[in-house]
Chain A
């Protein structure tokens, strides 16, 4: 169980998926496209986390599970770990990746800050800049992956992404009490 595929194939497929959902399937409904992409990410996250936790002992608490996401899970997906993890010790974690691999092809220009992909609030504030909205579409998939992985480890949460300074990307995880 572990055949290898070139990374460019993966990136190409993800780019095409995001483009297909936002321009062909749900061209007039970006919120619906975002939810579908996030749902795909959710299922992928479920499966991946089951796969990557076989060899290791189980987790005692939330912090260990988040650290697993930051280290082992992220290095399996992107060959690097999360660069910075912050928490407010009340159920919110910020995972910062200083050079998010799937966004490296996006040009850096001034983009509005927050993009919300939480599952309870699909009517996120839409940036007026079209390029910014397209960029934020690409972030729903990794948010879904993180949410799926944590859900399969027993931690229901909401994940949103923040791209105020590309290529760094922050994922905000809010654990539901």
Chain B
């Protein structure tokens, strides 16, 4: 079951600190378009984030048949996922697990908050979680 999915983490200063194509479909030329859609959705997320105190904002925007879902942490870090599946519970669990991983990265005293996440371990784990939940 091929699915397209692009996942980015945007810090509170609007700097993307992590990007990954986590879909199981083969990488197409439109991969750069996925990042563009996600960045364009940031404005909508900004408005929506202040209207609710929940962390998981479900589908904030649609593009063709792709949907952008966003999860905002208390420190205003946004985990954004562009996907075509409709499995909301799976996506919510995915976000929660990635949030835990992100906190572990933050607890590293040598990690500068707001800088890019370069840990290959983190990358492997995120891709494994994506395969599991998406």
Is A126 among interface residues, defined by CB-CB distance under 8 A? no
Contact: B75 with A152, CB < 8 Å?
yes
> Which of A43, A54, A58 has the most B CB atoms < 10 Å from its CB?
A58
Contact flags (1/0) for A41-65 with B, using CB distance below 8 Å?
Answer: 0010011011101101111100000
A-side interface size class: 10 to 19
Contact residues, B79-134 vs A (CB, 8 A)? 96, 99-100, 103-104, 106-107, 109, 113
- A50-B106 CB under 8 A given contacts A153-B74, A154-B12, A154-B75: yes
CB-nearest residue of chain B relative to A52?
B74
Contact: A46 with B113, CB < 8 Å?
yes
CB-nearest residue of chain A relative to B72?
A58
Contact: B100 with A1, CB < 8 Å?
yes
Chain A nearest Cβ from B11, distance in angstroms: 11
Contact with B75, one of A1, A43, A53, A56 (Cβ below 8 angstroms): A53
Measured in the bound complex, the distance between the Cα atoms of B72 and A43 in whole Å is: 21
Measured in the bound complex, the distance between the Cα atoms of B72 and A57 in whole Å is: 10
Contact residues, B2-25 vs A (CB, 8 A)? 12
Chain A nearest Cβ from B13, distance in angstroms: 11
Is B39 among interface residues, defined by CB-CB distance under 8 A? no
Measured in the bound complex, the distance between the Cα atoms of B106 and A54 in whole Å is: 13
> Which of A46, A152, A153 has the most B CB atoms < 10 Å from its CB?
A152
Contact flags (1/0) for A118-158 with B, using CB distance below 8 Å?
Answer: 00000000000000000000000000000000001110000
Measured in the bound complex, the distance between the Cα atoms of B76 and A58 in whole Å is: 9
Is B59 among interface residues, defined by CB-CB distance under 8 A? no
